[in-house]
Structure 1
């Protein structure tokens, strides 16, 4: 059941690869994935609860390893628990991972950076990572950090909240009625179309080795984007330089 992941090239830590012959970074639809059951939890919870949820997640992942090909990395805000969950899931045989609590991580730049970079450093090179609930303006930066895919469910998630996602900004249509009386279904469709555009944009920049330029351009779109890139540069420069071409 495991989907083979091949790395084709790098632009910084960002990777162009293939999962079962399809180019990454890419959008993943839940119906095409076989996600192992897991014990979900909030991001900011007591450690004892997070430990229990990791234990249950690993148990469920092992029980369903024959029929599932994607596992969820739990551990809440505790980096060591996230790493433990990752490593034991890899031991079970998984190589595709969804990082839990993506929406909460986007509001905490330091934890977002530290968790993703820590997981990337500890993971096997043949493992790939999928980020849920990504805002479109964050997708280039998440790719730059090493994320290989994004769940299409985010288009529905934001449409449910009546939010229009564009490559540079999220619009609450209650306050910015760009589209008046738009149905949730049509809003979801627009969000997904814009998501597909950003993926194409990312691929073109990675092909031209200019992903960092796109990241810096988008870093000014939100305070979270700005702080995330600053923390990434300040605390993880060696990680960024490992695959960056020197001209």
Structure 2
């Protein structure tokens, strides 16, 4: 099921647009998407198993195309399988996609950059890419690479781990006593408020063509974030410059 997406402007490879009239990048809530079933798999598995999972994901997506408006890009750690899955789902008729294994990609900066950039380069311009389990401090650089949205489920995921999200850092509350005696529900609410703030921050920077400034600021918040930006600049500068404004 095709949803209407319009690109209004670029800030680097990041896309500022509208999906069915709503501003993107955005937070996607449960009621916003009807996600087709997929054959999920671990990130670090043999390629033959990953191939089977992609085939099964495409089959399930095709069977549910009339009822669903979003599909999941599987393929584990293999870029060619991720692209194969993306293109197969586009042929079926989807243009909104969730990238599987987001939590594991965040711990592998090189593979994160390679997979996200290559998916963005191979996707149709009207295709929307959504990242799962994003830490708030990573949201600016993910947007800069071409991610169009983030699942609100990240707030629940990190509250389950007893982790507090802030715009610049994730705090393990077992080690940092910032809040005491927070219920999981209260922690989830705080994490959701952080997601909503950061997405507004990103949108505002994109409106002012200053997303790169925010990306560089946040790149200092963790070793993984530093590595992600360095790898992006080193390996994909042509991709960045293709969409960067000249002043």
Gaps of 5+ in 1: none
Does residue 2 (structure 1) correspond to residue 10 (structure 2)? The answer is no
Corresponding position of 1:69: 69
1:23-72 per-position Cα deviation (integer Å, ceiling 9, x unaligned): 00000012321000000001000011101100000000000000100000
Equivalent position SS for 1:155: helix
1:104-127 per-position Cα deviation (integer Å, ceiling 9, x unaligned): 000000000000111111110110
Equivalent position SS for 1:98: strand
1:3-41 per-position Cα deviation (integer Å, ceiling 9, x unaligned): 211111110000111111100000001232100000000
Corresponding position of 2:192: 192
Q: TM-score, normalised by structure 2?
A: 0.99
Alpha-carbon distance in structure 1 between the residues aligned to 2:204 and 2:115: 27
Alpha-carbon distance in structure 2 between the residues aligned to 1:144 and 1:32: 23
Which runs of at least 4 in structure 1 moved beyond 4 Å after TM superposition?
A: none
Does residue 90 (structure 1) correspond to residue 83 (structure 2)? The answer is no
**1:145-156 alignment to 2 at 5 Å?**
145-156=145-156
Alpha-carbon distance in structure 2 between the residues aligned to 1:177 and 1:3: 44
Equivalent position SS for 2:243: coil
Aligned length: 247
More displaced 10-residue stretch of structure 1: 27-36 or 212-221? 27-36
Structure 1 residue 177, shift from structure 2 partner: 1.3
Does residue 12 (structure 1) correspond to residue 16 (structure 2)? The answer is no
Equivalent position SS for 1:242: helix
Q: TM-score, normalised by structure 1?
A: 0.99
Does residue 206 (structure 1) correspond to residue 206 (structure 2)? The answer is yes
Corresponding position of 1:103: 103
1:151-183 per-position Cα deviation (integer Å, ceiling 9, x unaligned): 000000000000000000000001001110000
RMSD, matched Cα: 0.6
1:205-241 per-position Cα deviation (integer Å, ceiling 9, x unaligned): 1111110000000000000000000000000000001
Alpha-carbon distance in structure 2 between the residues aligned to 1:137 and 1:186: 20
Equivalent position SS for 2:238: helix
Corresponding position of 2:48: 48
Structure 1 residue 75, shift from structure 2 partner: 0.2
Does residue 215 (structure 1) correspond to residue 215 (structure 2)? The answer is yes
Does residue 234 (structure 1) correspond to residue 234 (structure 2)? The answer is yes
Alpha-carbon distance in structure 2 between the residues aligned to 1:3 and 1:186: 34
Corresponding position of 2:246: 246
